[in-house]
């Protein structure tokens, strides 16, 4: 077996996904790249590798610093990687745009009624 840790385990241990099954599915779907190449779930990562990840339509660019031994606390997980500042800025901008978009939507108590659904459809069309 080659040195390193499987990418799906690394993503799960570093708390990018709640379950290893979700991490495996993301890698299988092509949302994970290691050193610029699409990564299969069994791809091994080691310190120094660069991981690019797309999770919930938000980009992540990470440099692997260490390999975690387990899925521990969040502080322990954050010590295993360094995030690219530019990607962090882009992700925060996208999150702010999503929040502004949601605030502009008509608000209702509970589920939208018939009239609110019509307003939402009109807003999305035009």
Could you give the C-alpha distances from 74 to 1, 14, 59, in angstroms and in order? 28, 8, 19
Q: Quick one: CA torsion of 64, 65, 68, 74, rounded to 10 degrees?
A: -90
How many other CB atoms are found less than 10 A from the CB of residue 54?
Answer: 14
Residues of the chain with pLDDT under 70: 1-2, 105-108, 126
Indicate the class that CATH gives domain 5-125: alpha beta
Question: Is 0.85 surpassed by the pTM of this model?
Answer: no
Task: Find, among 23, 34, 28, the residue nearest to 77 by Cα.
Answer: 23
Output the pLDDT for position 36.
93
Q: Rounded distance, CA 22 to CA 18, Å?
A: 7
Output the pLDDT for position 2.
65
- DSSP readout, 31-53? -EEETTEE--TT-EE-TT-EEEE
Output the pLDDT for position 124.
73
Domain ranges, ordered by start, for the chain: 5-125
């Amino acid at each position: 077996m080659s040195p390193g840790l499987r990418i799906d385990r690394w993503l799960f241990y570093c708390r990018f996904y709640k379950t290893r099954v979700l991490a495996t599915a993301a890698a299988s779907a092509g949302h994970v790249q290691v050193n610029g190449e699409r990564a299969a779930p069994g791809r091994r990562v080691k310190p120094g590798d660069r991981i690019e990840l797309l999770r919930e339509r938000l980009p992540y660019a990470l440099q692997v610093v260490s390999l975690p031994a387990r899925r521990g606390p969040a502080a322990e997980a954050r010590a295993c990687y360094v995030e690219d500042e530019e990607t962090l800025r882009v992700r925060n901008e996208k999150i702010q745009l999503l929040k502004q978009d949601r605030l502009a939507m008509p608000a209702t108590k509970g589920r939208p009624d018939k009239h609110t659904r019509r307003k939402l459809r009109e807003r999305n069309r035009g």
